[in-house]
Structure 1
Amino acid sequence: MSKIAASFFFIALVFFYACNSSFTPKPTGYFKIDFPSKKYQLFQEPGYPYSFEYPVYARITKDSTFFGETTENPWWINIDFPQFSGRIYISYKQIGAQNNFDTLIRDAFTLTGKHTSKAYSIDDSLLVNPYNVEGVFFKVGGDVATANQFFLTDSSRHFLRGALYFDATPNEDSLNIVNQFLMEDVKHLINSFTWRKQP
């Protein structure tokens, strides 16, 4: 038997054997994430027009710039979750001549609507917490930068907007478990939120 014939026979044998073997594709997997226990602390800094509870595994930093510009007041903050590369951006505006209430509401819906090219759904729901703080919660479905957004207001003086972002490529499947975990914290923040009288 020549070398060419032997090679052909060997390749054919491997091919027929491979066709008869069973192959099971492995599903895509993600790293196991160890979640900390839920425990909260109070954010009640002097001079701030609001207070709320946030997780002990998060840290709050003052946000002093907005797209390179100075924020319009000193009460903008970020709630960072270093373990999950997540952040809740909190912006605050005083309702008045410069910030018309109807315009603030429209802007909140417009900002959420910017996800329509990637989202397969945008659900909004009215909310009222135990301290009679009212607002709207947005749940955006799909591979979007922020799937959870909200705003809180008293309709006359205060308007606060929050959005949970991740420092990662938007992928609904891979972020889902972390999103669900942090959503409990977002809901706790909203339910514990109160407006404070300023001096």
Structure 2
Amino acid sequence: MAKAKVLYSVTMSVDGFITGPGGDMQWIRPYLGPNPEVNELVPRIGSILVGRRSHDGDDPYKGEPGEGQAFGGGWDGPIFVVTHRPLADPEPGVTYVDDFAKALAAAKEAAGDKYVNVIGANIAKQCIEAGELDEVFLLYAPAMLGDGTRLFDHPGGHTVRLERISVTETAMATSLWFKVI
């Protein structure tokens, strides 16, 4: 049986930010249009691993159909939220875990032979530091934000080598898919 791969999928501005100031995700709305590569990826996701700040944060689908749902309602399955502040009454399908390694193990088990989709820069960084990130799927949006959350931030620097798997251009964004080496 194949094991789950850990994938960091994210949309990034040209200047390297995945959220705007204060965690703003509304900047992404113009780039949520059709993307065949995203459409092919979504059914290959077996679980989601996300940090509490990203899980509870601004929703690019705010006020739209799909608000509060993964991929705007395009995906349904188990979600594992890494947090030191679990909710007493969690929403259905969401498991709060207070330990990163335990959350990752549970997400991998739940994913089976599909992807564990990582959401959030901090969780992606923890996956990198643990040597557990397999791939990065980056949607490169034609916008500059000037401030916000960086795709990857490691004070003092830390090189993560990537090998390009594919590049796909759409009207909305350019998709870059990498294998972590």
Larger Rg, first or second structure (1 or 2): 1
Fold in common (TM above 0.5): no
Higher relative contact order (CA closer than 8 Å, sequence separation 6+): 2
TM-score by length of 2: 0.27
